[in-house]
Amino acid sequence: MEKVKNKKILLVDDDPMFVEAIKVILENGGYNVAVAYDGIEGEKKLKESRPDLIILDVMMPGKDGFVLCKEIKNNPEFEAIPVILLTAVGENIPYTRYSQADGMDIEAEDYIPKPVEPQELLKKVDKLL
């Protein structure tokens, strides 16, 4: 199956090195990638770039991924955009303010724990687009 080219992905994560690595993987997979480094910037880029898919980190300063995802899914203008939560929360739950219940509350289309395997990420993105 041939990939649909020129699909836009918004990648929101506060780790610049991780963002660069994931951006390269997605661009090599044929996608256009916009990036944001926290939830507040992510919300702004969402409105500017109108992406076809959003990849969100959970643990970020300003506005975390759970909050932003919930806002996206409760907004009729953006609710149809698929969201993948990409995060290390699972292994860090004992050390954070997040709980597994927080994740169960969110209507994201998929969830991928960090560290992410490039082929797994591309497979899930391809499936949602």
pLDDT, tens digit, for every residue of 80-121?
A: 999 998 877 544 444 444 444 444 456 888 888 888 889 999
* Tokens standing for residue 2: 């041939």
pLDDT, tens digit, for every residue of 65-85?
A: 889 999 999 999 999 999 998
Sheet of strand 32-36, all strands in order from the earlier edge strand to the far edge: 32-36, 8-12, 53-56, 83-87, 110-113
Instruction: Tell me the average pLDDT across 35-54.
Output: 96
The CATH label, of 1.10.540.10, 3.40.50.2300, 3.40.30.10, 3.40.1670.10, for the domain at 8-123 is: 3.40.50.2300
If one counts every other C-beta atom within 10 angstroms of the C-beta of residue 55, the result is: 29
Are the beta carbons of 3 and 96 closer than 8 angstroms? no
pLDDT, position 68: 93
- Across 29-45, b (16+ Cβ under 10 Å) vs e yields bebebbbbbbbebbbeb
Domain locations in the chain as residue ranges? 8-123
In the chain, % of residues over pLDDT 70: 82
